[in-house]
């Protein structure tokens, strides 16, 4: 692998000698590196956190609903096998921490990837060496310039032949206010700790913060359900703990999912347990609750909202946000991106994952062609490739990077042969916020196979696998709406 050096004013004429920079050392970023190595290319993985899987470590207490066999990339498994790695039981459901400890850490320690990973290093910007986004002549043969900030605060410019942004969306949760904007007082409430991080460890590390408190969970997906169930467990031993749940939709029945009809038993059980907590009064539900402002105080947080009954105020000790995430595109400002206007995903992918169209829709397997931008050699992959859409699948991310690695290696046939086999169930749902906790207009009559849906999307809906998020890591299902 050629040693990366700081960029100067000169521009190399042979970019093939430069590394492929992968931003992010999570599951999809490391899978990308494994596929690139297998193709004879030279990845360099840049991770802002102090360790690989930094974002997953923050929700490491959460158990996935998908078993190991859907969470391990094929190229990564082949690379690990060469070093004697013992694969976990494929049918066991790992926690986030186990995903890191039993898979990501061994993968990052392999001889092929270990020397290529730079942790504690933040990507500040990606551009082309010597030219901004307005310059066209020679652009395709000009190396990328990746500006890095090292752990000691110093900066350097790294040249690259291609760039894959697998940095995810964990650091940019959606705001709690209406219209996609932070509510007045939201920043102040965050600053004083009245609004927590998503998916806190309620019964473990953060127990002392929640025990005996009045807690409001906002959101209508499985991440909200996970937190509510942990709070319910806490309330069994700490009876002064009071739990409220607020959603923008008119009811919460959709969060319960298929229950005993779900082929993934862990996910079905989640819905059943949550329904029982609501029906027994352990969880107090506030529907059609649209937050308009916050007032943090010494003794609590006042949450203001509009409801069908008029304006309402609710005073709580803590608020847990579970309204999804959005991509941070600031570091890509000097690249020529083509994004879907609704969900901030690559333009060709956006219509296939828009949650207002696909709350009961399918996302077909997709690869390099659908992820391409007008900037040759640059790709957004993994969770970030879905922009604001909440239906991302880890296995889909693995197929994305397999296809891109093949394309970068010049194997067009392999790049275009995109396939993905996922489990089936009778449940049809999405998760992790976005517009999913606000029903689309006409949702009661416009299902995924309604006549108003374009013919090509109907075909996909009625035949393809349907994405459903499970905790933070989703698997796929087939629709029952057809």
CB atoms inside a 10 Å sphere around CB 182: 15
* pLDDT score recorded for residue 266: 54
pLDDT at 454 over 60: no
Is the pLDDT higher at 331 or at 442?
Answer: 331
Average pLDDT, the chain: 84
CB atoms inside a 10 Å sphere around CB 152: 6
**Percentage with pLDDT > 70 across the chain:** 80
* pLDDT score recorded for residue 436: 29
Residue 130: both structure tokens together: 């010597």
Q: Are strands 155-160 and 144-149 parallel, antiparallel or unpaired?
A: antiparallel
pLDDT at 100 over 70: yes
Is the pLDDT higher at 38 or at 471?
Answer: 38
Q: Give the single-character DSSP code of 182.
A: P
pLDDT at 13 over 80: no
Average pLDDT value for residue range 135-142:
95
pLDDT at 182 over 60: yes
Burial of residue 32 (CB within 10 Å: 0-12, 13-18, 19+) is buried
**Percentage with pLDDT > 90 across the chain:** 71
CB atoms inside a 10 Å sphere around CB 9: 6
Global confidence as pTM: 0.84
Residue 167: both structure tokens together: 């940095």
Q: Give the confidence band of 269 by pLDDT, cuts at 50, 70, 90.
A: low
Q: Are strands 465-468 and 475-478 parallel, antiparallel or unpaired?
A: antiparallel
Would you call 264 helix, strand, or coil by DSSP? Answer: coil
pLDDT at 77 over 90: yes
* pLDDT score recorded for residue 451: 26
Q: Give the confidence band of 362 by pLDDT, cuts at 50, 70, 90.
A: low
Q: Which of 25-34, 111-120, 346-355 has the lowest mean pLDDT?
A: 346-355
Q: Give the confidence band of 421 by pLDDT, cuts at 50, 70, 90.
A: low
Q: What are phi and psi of 433, to 5 degrees?
A: 75, -130
β-bridge partners, 148: 123, 156
Contact 219, 324 (CB under 8 A): yes
């Amino acid at each position: 692998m050629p040693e990366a050096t700081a960029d100067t004013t000169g521009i190399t004429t042979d970019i093939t000698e430069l590394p492929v920079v992968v931003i992010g050392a999570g599951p999809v970023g490391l899978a990308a590196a494994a596929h690139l190595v297998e193709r004879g290319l030279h990845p360099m993985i840049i991770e802002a956190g102090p360790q690989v899987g930094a974002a997953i470590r923050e929700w490491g207490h959460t158990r996935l609903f998908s078993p190991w066999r859907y969470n391990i990339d094929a190229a990564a498994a082949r690379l690990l096998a060469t070093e004697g790695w013992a694969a976990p039981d494929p049918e066991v459901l790992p926690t986030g921490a186990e995903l890191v400890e039993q898979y990501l850490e061994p993968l990052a320690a392999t001889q092929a990837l270990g020397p290529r990973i730079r942790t504690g290093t933040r990507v500040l910007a990606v551009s082309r060496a010597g030219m901004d986004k307005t310059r066209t002549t020679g652009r395709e043969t000009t190396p990328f310039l990746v500006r890095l900030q090292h752990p000691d605060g110093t900066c350097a410019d790294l040249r690259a032949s291609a760039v894959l942004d697998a940095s995810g969306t964990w650091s940019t949760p959606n705001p709690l206010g209406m219209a996609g904007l932070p509510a007045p007082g939201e920043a102040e409430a965050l600053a004083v700790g009245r609004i927590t991080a998503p998916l806190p460890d309620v019964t473990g590390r953060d127990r002392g913060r929640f025990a005996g408190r009045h807690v409001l969970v906002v959101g209508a997906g499985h991440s909200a359900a996970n937190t509510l169930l942990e709070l319910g467990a806490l309330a069994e031993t700490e009876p002064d703990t009071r739990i409220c749940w607020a959603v923008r939709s008119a009811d919460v029945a959709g969060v319960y999912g298929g229950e005993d009809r779900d082929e993934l038993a862990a996910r079905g059980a989640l819905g059943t347990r949550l329904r029982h907590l609501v029906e027994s009064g352990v969880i107090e539900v506030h529907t059609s609750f649209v937050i308009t402002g916050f007032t943090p105080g010494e003794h609590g947080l006042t949450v203001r909202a509009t409801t069908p009954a008029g304006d309402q105020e609710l005073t709580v000790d803590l608020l847990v946000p579970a309204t999804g995430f959005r991509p941070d595109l600031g570091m890509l400002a000097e690249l020529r991106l083509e994004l879907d206007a609704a969900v901030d995903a690559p333009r060709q992918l956006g219509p296939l994952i828009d949650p207002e169209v696909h709350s009961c829709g399918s996302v077909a397997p997709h690869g390099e062609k659908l992820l391409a931008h007008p900037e040759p050699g640059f790709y957004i992959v993994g969770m970030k490739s879905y922009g604001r859409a909440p239906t991302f699948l880890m296995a889909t991310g693995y197929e994305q990077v397999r296809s891109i690695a093949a394309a970068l290696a010049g194997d067009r046939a392999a790049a275009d042969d995109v396939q993905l086999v996922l489990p089936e169930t009778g449940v049809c749902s999405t998760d992790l916020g976005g517009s999913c906790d606000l029903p689309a207009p006409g949702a009661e009559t416009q299902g995924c196979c309604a006549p108003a849906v374009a013919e090509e999307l109907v075909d996909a809906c009625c035949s393809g696998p349907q994405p459903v998020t499970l905790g933070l890591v989703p698997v796929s299902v087939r629709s029952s709406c057809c």
